[in-house]
Amino acid sequence: MGNIPNIIRTYRLKMNLSQRELAHTLGKSKNVISNWENGVNKPDADMIEKLCAILNIPVGNIFGEHEELNNKQIQSDLTERDLYALSLFKKLPDDEQLKFIGRLEVMTER
């Protein structure tokens, strides 16, 4: 599945969309988006086109094309505080990262 889950999550967050908001826009449930972002399932071709239109990214980017350029662009948008928080986050085991993301989503949907 490659990096599709991370790309969906990264661009969703960059657009300041919760999983619930993205799901609503696509006519899907929040669980569908969560499953995509966790690599449980992947969107079909039609859904990838819709996702890219909503997230404002070229279709090729979702398959990792131009990934180096995308990473540089994303990194340039990060503050020192963002980078520090990310470095701490990356030290967490995968299951704790997922729990943390879930808590953040609940906190930001209030």
CB atoms within 10 A of CB 75: 11
| Domain boundaries, given as residue ranges, for the chain | 1-77, 79-110
CATH code assigned to 1-77: 1.10.260.40
C-alpha 18 chain-centroid distance = 10
CA separation for the pair 13, 31 (Å, rounded): 16
Q: At what angle do helices 19-26 and 45-55 cross, to 10 degrees?
A: 120
Chain segment 43-93, per-residue pLDDT in tens: 988 888 899 889 888 877 777 655 444 555 555 677 888 888 888 888 888
What is the pTM for the complete model shown? 0.57
Task: Using a pLDDT cut of 90, give the percent of the chain over it.
Answer: 22
